[in-house]
Amino acid sequence: MTIPYFLRVAYVGTDFYGWQIQTSLRSVQAELWKALRAFDPQSPMPAGTGRTDAGVHARAQGVLVQMARAWDPYRLLAAINAHLPWDVRAMSAQPAPEGFFPRAHAAAKRYVYRIQEGPAADPFQHLRRWHVFGVTALDRPAMAAAARHLVGAHDFSSFRHAECAALSPHRKVYRAALEEDGAALDLVFEGNRFLMHMVRIMAGTLVEVGKGRYAASDLPGILAARDRRKAGITAPPHGLCLEEVWYQRRWGIGEPSPWPEDPE
């Protein structure tokens, strides 16, 4: 008999080969499992809300763990973090209801892709923002106009990695917007689910709109083509961060989603 707890886990993805456990490569899931087994040797493998690519960061990876006994959440956090490396931390913990599974019961996610413009890369943003070089600044109004075409329910085959194993390319994007602060530019994407590399391909395509390689009006045609070759480049992983996950209201995990829940 085990007792379930929900963790909100943050990590700097630079030195990880993604969330999912690997045979020989370093992963967040493996580090967390090792930490749990240091004080609960029978702890099963922790279950995450979703995969992140190698080099991608997260502030809000939702993780379900099963413990052999009841824990005060603060003490559980302290015990886990005492055995974790510096680049991954459990940020919060709470008892989880029986039957809750983070991957199945996620209602929506927010990803932020961070860009920095300018003649030189800011060393304090190294491996946190994609430094986009260029004598001419990105056309941010054109990028914002292009982003609006991504909102809605679409077949996102043009924004999907060839090795994506999802059964359907259909996804809903609730928000695709730009947030600006001088040379810093954040591309914010909120949706019900995302395909493999989907956010990075959307980000790369928007940057190419900003560079004039595509027009904002090209986006509907790119979506309609259902052809990965029609979209832009895949942005590098280090600019991407999983910022928030909202779960179905009935489970009482975290803040409720600002977006409608899909029927089960």
pLDDT digits (tens, 9 = 90+) for 73-96: 999 999 999 999 999 999 999 999
**pLDDT band for position 250 (cuts 50, 70, 90):** very high
The reply to whether 53 belongs to the active site is yes
For 253, half-sphere exposure in the C-beta direction (CA atoms, 13 angstrom radius) is 33
Classify 10 as helix, strand or coil: strand
The domain made up of 108-244 is a member of CATH 3.30.70.660: yes
Domain with CATH 3.30.70.580 in the chain: 3-104
Instruction: Give the pLDDT score at 226.
Output: 97
At the topology level, CATH places domain 3-104 in Alpha-Beta Plaits (3.30.70)
Please give the torsion angle defined by the CA atoms of residues 132, 133, 137 and 141, in that order, rounded to the nearest 10 degrees.
-20
Task: Please say if the pLDDT value at position 118 is more than 70.
Answer: yes
Task: Please say if the pLDDT value at position 115 is more than 90.
Answer: yes
Domain with CATH 3.30.70.660 in the chain: 108-244
For 113, half-sphere exposure in the C-beta direction (CA atoms, 13 angstrom radius) is 25
What percentage of the chain has pLDDT greater than the value 70? 99
pLDDT digits (tens, 9 = 90+) for 170-201: 999 999 999 999 999 999 999 999 999 999 99
Output the pTM of the full model. 0.95
- CA–chain centroid gap for 229, Å, is 23
Instruction: Give the pLDDT score at 263.
Output: 65
Determine contact, residues 225/158, Cβ cutoff 8 Å.
yes
Q: Is 136 left (phi over 0), alpha (psi -120 to 50) or beta?
A: beta
Pairing relationship of beta strands 130-132 and 106-117 according to DSSP bridges: parallel
- Give the total residue count for the chain: 264
Q: Which of 53, 72, 87, 227 is catalytic?
A: 53
